């Protein structure tokens, strides 16, 4: 049975990571529950010329067509859809990724706040013992940022800063994006072939 992954896009820079992750999850046959904030719409437009509709139904139709998603593979929920599955522990996803993740969202999750659907979904995933992955795109980290991340890590949350390596000799920006997305997919145990793994293709001694 395919994994159900909740993917949340917030207003940090780094929207190409989140959109590429969405594409890869759908390609892998995962069932994706997509959430995004109002500021994420602004960032998507600024960084990718991608217009994410305000109405969830419009966004769902647009993205299903864009990625040729099969019926039942992609669901988009609005910011006020408190009756959506992600809002309750009785129907929690297998895992959740917030990518990119603002420091405001990270801080709210660390403090157990749930006034917004994204925060509530993350709270559900933590309390139900499922995997939560946060991809914070900020630099430098302040003491407050680091303390919030430490608190989350102690609760079992995986922090994946989008810091690409260069040992695969990237030639394009897409190669750097894929490096980070590959690390997220590894954490989700979702198969992929985005890049060669360390040691693969090396000549034998």
**What is the 3-state secondary structure of 68-110?**
CCCCCCEEECCCCCCCCHHHCHHHCCCEEEEEEECHHHHHHHH
> Are the C-beta atoms of 59 and 53 separated by less than 8 Å?
yes
In whole angstroms, what is the distance from residue 158 CA to residue 97 CA? Answer: 9
The pLDDT score that the predictor gives to residue 199 is 82
* Beta-bridge partners for 6: 33, 96
In whole angstroms, what is the distance from residue 36 CA to residue 39 CA? Answer: 8
Q: Please confirm whether the linkage preceding 140 is cis (ω < 30° from 0).
A: yes
CATH superfamily of 4-188: Flavin prenyltransferase-like (3.40.50.1950)
The pLDDT score that the predictor gives to residue 198 is 84
Give the single-character DSSP code of 31: E
The pLDDT score that the predictor gives to residue 20 is 98
Q: Which of helix, strand or coil describes residue 173?
A: helix
- Where does 13-162 show beta strands of DSSP type E? 31-36, 74-76, 95-101, 131-136, 158-159
Q: Where are the domains of the chain?
A: 4-188
> Are the C-beta atoms of 17 and 98 separated by less than 8 Å?
no
The pLDDT score that the predictor gives to residue 204 is 45
Spans of the chain, pLDDT less than 50: 203-205
In whole angstroms, what is the distance from residue 94 CA to residue 128 CA? Answer: 10
> Are the C-beta atoms of 103 and 13 separated by less than 8 Å?
no
């Amino acid at each position: 049975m395919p994994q159900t992954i909740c993917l949340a896009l917030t207003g940090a820079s780094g929207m190409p990571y989140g959109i590429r992750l969405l594409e890869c999850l759908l390609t892998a046959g995962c069932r994706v529950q997509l959430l995004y904030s109002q500021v994420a719409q602004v960032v998507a437009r600024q960084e990718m010329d991608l217009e994410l509709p305000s109405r969830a139904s419009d966004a769902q139709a647009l993205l299903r067509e864009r990625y040729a998603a099969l019926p039942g593979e992609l669901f988009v929920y609005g910011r006020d859809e408190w009756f959506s599955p992600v809002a309750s522990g009785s129907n929690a996803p297998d895992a959740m990724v917030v990518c990119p993740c603002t420091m405001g969202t990270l801080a709210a999750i660390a403090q157990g706040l749930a006034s917004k659907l994204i925060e509530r979904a993350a709270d559900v995933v933590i309390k139900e013992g499922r995997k939560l992955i946060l991809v914070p795109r900020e630099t430098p980290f302040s003491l407050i940022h680091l303390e919030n991340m430490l608190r989350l890590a102690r609760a079992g949350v995986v922090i994946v800063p989008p810091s690409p390596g260069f040992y695969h000799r990237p030639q394009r920006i897409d190669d750097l994006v894929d490096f980070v997305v590959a690390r997220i997919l590894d954490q989700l145990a979702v198969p992929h072939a985005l890049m060669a793994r360390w040691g693969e293709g090396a000549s034998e001694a």
